[in-house]
Amino acid sequence: MILKKYNGIWFFGLSGSGKTLASNFLKTKVKKFIILDGDKIRKHISFDLSYTLKDREIQLRRVYGMALLSIDSEVFPIVSTVYMSNQIILKLKRKNILPIQMTRDFQKIKNRKKIYNINNKNVVGRDIKMKKFAGLNLINNSDNIENLKKKILKIIS
């Protein structure tokens, strides 16, 4: 179903918005997939980068390149990153990779301070503004996982 409609899916949004949950659910719906998690790529490949805006742009280009390599190998990339740029959004659309911005009402999260550790610098959503992008916006406004799964299926169907 998904493989015929899109070449890949890219979730992006603030920490705690549900990207990993969405990715793990989506992998049950495709046969040949790879999860490209921006945090894991940063840990194993982009360890030379900091969290400045410039380095976040470099990280996005690297993750995008990995998604293209996956598609070339006939593997469906399920990508998740915190940051996103207009330049990458345009490239995704040209390659038929569906970008989905994940949002959440963080006022309702009890451990919100843990997500936005006040000692950290260059935090997307605090120091680095998260833009609103035209296109799909998946709002994760409940703690009900089944509701989020239904929303994901509606978007990809």
Alpha carbons 13 and 81: distance in angstroms, whole number: 7
Alpha carbons 76 and 7: distance in angstroms, whole number: 6
Residue 151 has pLDDT above 70, yes or no: yes
Tens-digit pLDDT profile for residues 107-138: 655 555 555 454 555 555 555 566 666 666 76
Per-residue model confidence (pLDDT) at position 57: 94
- Backbone phi, psi, residue 100, to 5°: -130, 120
Alpha carbons 88 and 67: distance in angstroms, whole number: 12
Tens-digit pLDDT profile for residues 51-110: 888 999 999 999 999 999 999 999 999 999 999 999 999 999 999 999 999 887 656 555
- State yes or no: is 85 an active-site residue: yes
Pairing of strands 8-13, 136-139: unpaired
Give residue limits of the domains in the chain. Answer: 6-156
Alpha carbons 37 and 20: distance in angstroms, whole number: 8
What superfamily does domain 6-156 belong to in CATH? P-loop containing nucleotide triphosphate hydrolases (3.40.50.300)
Q: Which of 17, 23, 46, 85 is catalytic?
A: 85
